[in-house]
């Protein structure tokens, strides 16, 4: 089992002793927090110096921000040819392949059923419905498409209701699991970005003036206790279970999140 530590903050990467096999660096959820070229160069340098594998994590991105990734992925291809790029937006895939980098299907493009409330009514459902709620949502047709795009690794969240291990047997793919935080939902509208604005503008997509502090809030629900968090524009759940380690599936990588991603 390969162990990965995921960083979205270059300063935290610099100060970590990196007891892992691979580094993930980047941001999945906000195109206002795409790393700078200098930060990417530093992250790559650290990976090289400490003999660690490297994966560059990318986010879903608006049309006017995607140009930033052209520069970053060109640099990655030059400094670490063939490196993994975790893609969470189909627009990034083309740039990745043009640079002969290795695309990995990010968890934002996998349609798992992530709502933590599901676990509270699973026992009431027929077996076929239960099965669907454990699955990835990746059809055979979609997997065939992934093969044509040179994608053979898929990133997954560690669902509260559990994962259908039997589904993860296809020899064409390997899987990564993120722990302990999975994401429930995300949006380009960010409460912390706009919290000081008037009500009529608070839920607008505007340039961020608060990049240094995405904010963190703990959310409460009668059905869900102590596992929901909001960081910036994204809601996360926490699941520390590692039942999947007992399986004989093709899960061969654990992505450790030392804190809730921002």
Of residues 180, 204, 181, the one with CA closest to residue 193: 204
**Alpha-carbon torsion, ordered 35, 40, 42, 43, to 10 deg:** 100
Angle (CA) 57-94-137 rounded to 5° is 65
Question: What pLDDT does 209 receive?
Answer: 66
User: What's the sign of the alpha-carbon dihedral 144, 145, 150, 154?
Assistant: negative
Question: What pLDDT does 246 receive?
Answer: 72
Of residues 63, 4, 32, 9, the one with CA closest to residue 186: 32
Q: Taking the model in full, what pTM does it have?
A: 0.90
Instruction: Map out the domains of the chain with their CATH numbers.
Output: 2-181+239-257 (3.20.20)
Residue with tokens 């291990």: 165
Q: What are the pLDDT tens digits along the chain (262 aa)?
A: 899 999 999 999 999 888 999 999 999 998 888 999 999 999 999 999 999 999 999 999 888 889 899 999 999 999 999 999 999 999 999 999 999 999 999 999 999 888 888 877 777 888 887 778 878 888 889 999 999 999 999 999 999 888 888 888 888 899 999 999 999 999 887 777 766 667 666 667 777 766 666 777 788 777 676 688 888 889 899 988 887 777 777 899 999 999 888 7
């Amino acid at each position: 089992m390969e162990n990965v530590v995921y960083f979205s903050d270059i300063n935290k990467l610099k100060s970590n002793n990196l007891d892992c096999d691979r580094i993930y660096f980047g941001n999945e959820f906000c195109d206002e927090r795409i790393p700078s070229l200098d930060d990417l160069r530093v992250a790559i340098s650290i990976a090289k110096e400490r003999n660690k594998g490297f994966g560059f994590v990318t986010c879903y991105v608006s049309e006017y921000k995607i140009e930033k990734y052209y520069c970053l992925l060109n640099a990655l291809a030059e400094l670490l040819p063939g490196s993994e790029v975790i893609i969470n937006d189909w627009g990034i895939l083309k740039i990745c392949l043009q640079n002969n980098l290795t695309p990995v299907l990010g968890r934002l493009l996998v349609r798992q059923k992530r709502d933590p409330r599901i676990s509270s009514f699973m026992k009431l459902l027929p077996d076929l419905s239960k099965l669907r709620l454990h699955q990835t949502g990746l059809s055979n047709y979609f997997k065939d498409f992934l093969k044509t795009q040179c994608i053979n690794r898929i990133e997954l969240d560690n669902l509260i209701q559990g994962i259908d291990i039997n589904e993860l047997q296809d020899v064409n793919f390997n899987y990564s699991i993120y722990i302990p935080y999975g994401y429930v939902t995300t949006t380009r509208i960010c409460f912390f970005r706009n919290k000081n604005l008037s009500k009529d503008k608070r839920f607008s997509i505007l340039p961020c003036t608060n990049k240094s502090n995405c904010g963190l809030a703990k959310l409460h629900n009668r059905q869900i206790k102590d596992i929901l968090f909001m960081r910036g524009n994204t809601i996360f759940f926490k699941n520390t279970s590692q039942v999947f380690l007992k399986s004989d599936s093709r899960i061969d990588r654990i992505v450790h999140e030392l804190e809730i991603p921002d």
